[in-house]
Amino acid sequence: MAAHVRWGLYQLLRARNKAHIRFPDQTRSSYHSQCTTSSSRKVQRHPWTGTTLFSIRHLSIQTQDTPNPRSLKFLPGKPVLGSGTLDFPSPSTAECSSLARVLFEIEGVKSVFFGPDFITVTKTDEDVEWTDIKRHASEAIAKFFESGDPITNGPVHQESSLSEDDDEIVSMIKELLDNRIRPTVQEDGGDVIFKGFEDGTVKLKLVGSCTGCPSSSVTLRNGIQNMLQFYIPEVDMVEQVEDEVDEINTKVFSELERKLQE
C-alpha cells in the first residue's frame, strides 16, 4: 500500500500539479485582504468598503492582510524577485538591498521579506499602528520601483531546493514542500525552507509572515506535518528550527525591547 501511494505521489509531483494544500480553517480564519493604491497627493476612503486609497505617482501598491497580525503583505503589481525568496530578519542583514534598508528606516518595522511578487513587512508589536507604516512603506516601494535599481545584489533562496545528492525520502519531502506547500505559505506572505531530515524528523525554517505568527504551530502540525506523513510514512514529525544567526538576532532584539521599556 505504501509503495502504491509513493508511486502515485511520484507521478503527481512529476506532473507538477500546482493544486494548493488546504490548511485547517482556524489557521486562515483571520485572513482577509484589502487593496491600497499608494500616492502622496491624494487620500480617499471608499464609502462602502472602507478601503483606504492613496495616490503616489503612477505605481499602484496593494496591501493584503496575513494570518499574522504583525505582518502586512505589499503587492507592487510587478515582479519583486521574480522567483525565490529573501529574508531580512533585522537591519543588519539588509546590506544587499537598498529597498530593505529604506524600509527598516520606517519607525516600527521589525523585519522585511521579499517574495517572487510581494514584500512582507513585519512590525515590532501589535500595539504599533499600521497607518503610518503602511503609508511610508508604500511610498518607499513605489519610489524604489520607479528608480529602476536592482532589488538585491545578494543570493536568493530559490524555489526548488532539490539536489542530486538527496536520497529518495529527502527528494520526496522537498518535492512536496516546493510544489504543494510553499505556494500556499507564500500566498500568506511567508515561506518554508527545508533544513534537514534526521531520525524521522523534518526540520523546517519558517520565514516572512510565518515568523512569530500565532497560527504557525497549527499550520506546521495540522497542515505540513499531516501532508508529509500521509505521503511519506518515514516522516514521524515536523520541527521548526532557526539558524544560529537568527537566534542571536532574536536575543539582541528582545534585550533592546526590554531596555526601551525600562
Q: Would you list the DSSP string of 194-226?
A: EEEEETTEEEEEEEETTTT-TTHHHIIIIIIIH
Please tell me the distance from the alpha carbon of residue 56 to that of residue 39, in angstroms, as a whole number. Answer: 2
Helix (H, G, I), strand (E, B) or coil at 127: coil
Containing 79, the helix (H) or strand (E) segment is none
Contact (Cβ atoms closer than 8 angstroms) between residue 235 and residue 93? no
What pLDDT is recorded for position 218?
67
Domains and CATH numbers, the chain: 2-25+160-246 (3.30.300.130), 31-147 (3.30.1370.70)
Span of 140-154, 163-177, 207-221 with lowest mean pLDDT: 207-221
Helix (H, G, I), strand (E, B) or coil at 5: helix
Of the candidates 149, 141, 82, the one whose C-alpha atom is nearest the C-alpha of residue 117 is 82
Burial class for 148, CB neighbours closer than 10 Å (0-12, 13-18, 19+): exposed
Enter the C-alpha cell of residue 103: 524600509
Residue appearing with cell numbers 503527481: 12
Q: pLDDT per residue over 111-145, tens digit each?
A: 999 999 999 999 998 888 899 999 999 999 999 99
> Is pLDDT of 154 > 90?
no
Q: pLDDT per residue over 5-33, tens digit each?
A: 454 555 545 554 444 444 444 444 333 34
Span of 31-40, 100-109, 227-236 with lowest mean pLDDT: 31-40
Residue type, 25: D
